[in-house]
Amino acid sequence: MSIDPELQAKIDALEDERLKAEIIDVLTGPGKKRASDEAIYETMISGYEMATQQQARLRKWREDEVAAFSAYFKERKPEDYAEFLRQEHEFNEIESGLAWGVRQLILEWMPGLDLRDCSGLFSKFRDYSKSQAAASNAIDDREPTSASRQL
């Protein structure tokens, strides 16, 4: 099915290539449409703008904030901290009970934090723990072993 030239011009004017492709796919795809092409376009644009605004409102976690939470976690729950690092390193995923506990600890560390921002810190902490493990492994790889020191 063809798209009205005026609507096609609006679609072409969009900057986000993924959004353009998604709109065109919906408008030209098979399946029965229960709304006009213009209404579909407007709905998709408003949803995209709302998601973009929500994303912009999310807290941008700085490295020092993530490091501060890491230190808090390690101090408050050293066994869970070690288990978190182990699971992240070995499985690249965290068991749901432990993940829930870490999120509760984040909210204890920073009361009143929005749940989306809590999820953002959780994600950044996972990245941080991976980078710390990688840095630690790089240091371990550079240190000479006792056998090589004797040669």
DSSP string across 83-135: HHHHHHHHHSS--HHHHHHHHHHHHHHSTT--HHHHHHHHHHHHHHHHHHHHH
pLDDT the model gives residue 45: 96
Q: Locate 103 and state its tokens.
A: 């999120």
pLDDT the model gives residue 93: 95
pLDDT the model gives residue 95: 97
**What are the structural domain ranges in the chain?**
5-57, 63-141
Residue 13 DSSP code: T
pLDDT along the chain (151 residues), means of 10: 91 96 94 91 96 92 97 98 95 97 98 95 96 73 56 50
How many Cβ atoms from other residues are within 10 Å of residue 51's Cβ? 10
| Contact predicate 105/77, CB 8 Å | yes
Q: Locate 127 and state its tokens.
A: 């990245």
